[in-house]
Amino acid sequence: MKRLFPLRIEKLALEGYGLGYHEGKAVFVPCAVPGDEIEAWLLRERKDVAFAQAENFLRRGEGVIPSRCAAFGGEDPCGGCDWLELDYPWQLRYKRELLSELLQPLAPEVEIPETQASPVQIHYRNKAFLPVGGDEKGLHCGIFARWSHHIVQHQSCLLHPPLFDKIAQRCLEILYRTGVSPYDEISHSGTLRHIGFRCSRDLEQVQLILVTRSGKLPFSNLLVKQLTTEFPQLCGIVQNINRERGNVILGREEKLLWGEPWLFDAAGGVNFRIHYRSFWQVNTPLLERIIGILSGMLSPDDVVYDAFAGIGSLGLCLAGSVKKVLCIEENPAAVADGEFTAEQNKIANASFLCAKTEDALPALLGTANAENAERPQVLILDPPRSGVQSQALQAITSAAIPRIFYLSCSPITLYRDLKILLDSGLYRINLIRPCDMFPQTWHVETLVGLELTAQAKAPAE
């Protein structure tokens, strides 16, 4: 294949690539959409596929708009956004199409509705961790470029609140003057690795997290004094210490430099305490839409297990609609947040179990079967991108839980896990609902509902 060649983008593929065909090979191109006609520059080639970038756009497809961000269309574009040049209705359309192509064969009879739109399409992220670099002019931060760890700087990112960038810039100015150096992942030297944020929806509370390679952070008291004076929204400043090599952002050690390691935010009528280590969906308004969808499908007599519960953002919000909720979560900080939140909101019918889901479900469901104890009618699964472990899926099918709601941010692992549940012969899919948790990117949150088949129900009846 020549280094430079003409290509027409025919469709979109997972990971946000535009897909075209040249010399019998599938060619994947980032930041390209169906209908684009481009001069493609070959980046790498395999036996059946190739990866390229758009050297020139000869013609643009439907729905393309100006990107509004200089970092998106540069020579080394930022990897934060995939579809910033797509008008929002087209983003919703393509997310539904991607999911339909992958999941519709698993449930041909289920109609997949239009993607649930996010109430907010820009500056929606309540959490961000930005890698830090530097040169002779000072420290800087940004987002990694696609396929690399090159930091692409920006003045104001369209994904998170502008306040994050203002605090970051001021923080880095102060740290540079105190002699703090950026982390170098090759030599495993330097101090500052990432600068992180989490905020409440109203931006009245902001956490600042400084991830460092060692425990030393000179003039930290001066930093705290200046930042808290200039930014009264700050409610906590944490130094997280990550001494290890690798791509994991947070380390096991921490120092609380000022304030508290958590903030407070509300969703679904519940006021949550959220530790900086705890999982909390990045798009709170869209989270509330999902809670609304789920609450309409539950009944007052339901016993619900909320697995991979985090701080209980789903389970605690749904507790008022059901008989009982058990939240299963392995992160102690998240469990502490959830228990505090339940007590403060007087939610008496919800409890937490601090355990890994793959360990807890076999034990809980096996005990319920053996002792005829109170078994769940509903199981909510909201796993990380890696999906649900095989032993947990085995426990689910062995217990034949009547209804399952699987909320996933990874279509690939969602498909894998659904296939296992369906292959058991016990379940059928009755709901597939794409939800746009991540506007301006290809990522999509998907809610899938499963129920026991008529044949699986028959023996119990």
Residue pair 352/359 in contact (Cβ under 8 Å)? The answer is no
Angle formed at CA 8 by CA 6 and CA 13, multiple of 5 degrees = 125
CA pair distance 39, 249, nearest whole angstrom: 37
Contact indicator for 198, 234 with CB cutoff of 8 Å:
no
Is it the case that residue 332 has pLDDT exceeding 50?
yes
Contact 151, 141 (CB under 8 A): yes
CATH number at residue 165: 2.40.50.1070
Query: How do beta strands 378-381 and 303-307 pair?
Result: parallel
Here the CATH number for the domain that contains residue 445 is 3.40.50.150
318 and 193 in a common domain: no
Whether 241 and 388 map to the same domain: the answer is no
Strand partners, 403: 378, 451
> Do 371 and 245 belong together in one domain?
no
Point out the least confidently predicted range of 252-261, 327-336, 449-458.
449-458
* Domain annotation covers residue 92: no
Asked, for residue 80, whether it belongs to a domain, the answer is no
Please report whether residue 171 resides in a domain: yes
State the Cα angle at 95 between 91 and 96, rounded to 5°. 120
Quick check: 371 pLDDT over 90? no
Domain boundary pick from 264, 295, 316? 264
Report the distance separating Cα 267 and Cα 288, nearest Å.
6
Q: Is there a single domain that holds both residue 154 and residue 302?
A: no
209 pLDDT higher than 50: yes
Summarize the confidence of residues 112-130 as an average pLDDT: 98
169 belongs to a structural domain:
yes
Asked whether residue 1 carries a pLDDT value surpassing 90, the answer given is no
pLDDT class of 368 with cuts at 50, 70, 90? low
Contacts of 46 (CB under 8 A, 6+ apart): none
Q: Round the average pLDDT of the chain to a whole number and report it.
A: 95
pLDDT of residue 459: 52
Q: What is the pLDDT of residues 268-326, one digit of tens each?
A: 999 999 999 999 999 999 999 999 999 999 999 999 999 999 999 999 999 999 999 99
Tell me, letter by letter, the H, E, C secondary structure of 73-138.
CCCCCECCCCCCCECHHHHHHHHHHHHHHHHHHHCCCCCCCCCECCCCCCCCCCEEEEEEEEECCE
- With respect to residue 68, please indicate whether it lies within any of the assigned structural domains: no
Same domain assignment for residues 236 and 295: no
Q: In this predicted structure, what is the pLDDT of residue 374?
A: 76
Q: Tell whether the model's pLDDT for residue 408 goes beyond 60.
A: yes
Q: Name residues whose C-beta falls within 8 Å of residue 211's C-beta, 6 or more positions apart in sequence.
A: 129, 192, 193, 194, 195, 196, 240, 241, 242, 249, 250, 251
Query: How much of the chain, in percent, has pLDDT values that exceed 90?
Result: 90
- 152 versus 370: the higher-pLDDT residue is 152
Residue 278 lies in a domain: no
Query: Based on the domain organization, do 447 and 300 belong to the same domain?
Result: yes
Residue 167 within any structural domain of the chain: yes
Residues 300 and 226 in one domain: no
pLDDT at 72 (0 to 100): 87
For helices 411-423 and 390-399, angle between their N-to-C axes, nearest 10 degrees: 40
444 in the same domain as 357: yes
Res 155: pLDDT = 86
Q: What is the mean pLDDT of residues 394-409?
A: 96
Q: Are residues 246 and 143 in the same domain?
A: yes
| Whole-number pLDDT of residue 372 | 47
CB 342 within 8 A of CB 330: no
Question: What pTM does this model have?
Answer: 0.94
Domain that holds residue 392: 97-119+283-457
Alpha-carbon Rg for the chain in angstroms: 24
Number of structural domains found in the chain? 3
Mean pLDDT computed over 98-121:
97
* CATH number, position 48: 2.40.50.140
pLDDT tens per residue, range 49-90: 999 999 999 999 999 999 889 888 766 788 999 999 999 999
Q: What DSSP assignment string belongs to 404-460?
A: EEEEES-HHHHHHHHHHHHHTTSEEEEEEEEE-SSTTSS--EEEEEEEE-HHHHTTT
**Could you count the other beta carbons within 10 Å of the beta carbon of residue 291?**
21
Average pLDDT rounded to a whole number, residues 421-446? 97
Question: Distances in Å between the alpha carbon of 401 and those of 306, 331, 353, 389, 405?
Answer: 13, 25, 19, 17, 11
Q: Assess if residue 438 is contained within a domain.
A: yes
Q: How far apart are CA 221 and CA 223, in angstroms?
A: 5
- Tell me, yes or no, whether 193 and 216 share the same domain: yes
Q: Residue 458: its pLDDT value, please?
A: 60
Q: Are residues 311 and 378 in the same domain?
A: yes
Active site positions, annotated: 409
134 and 104, same structural domain? no
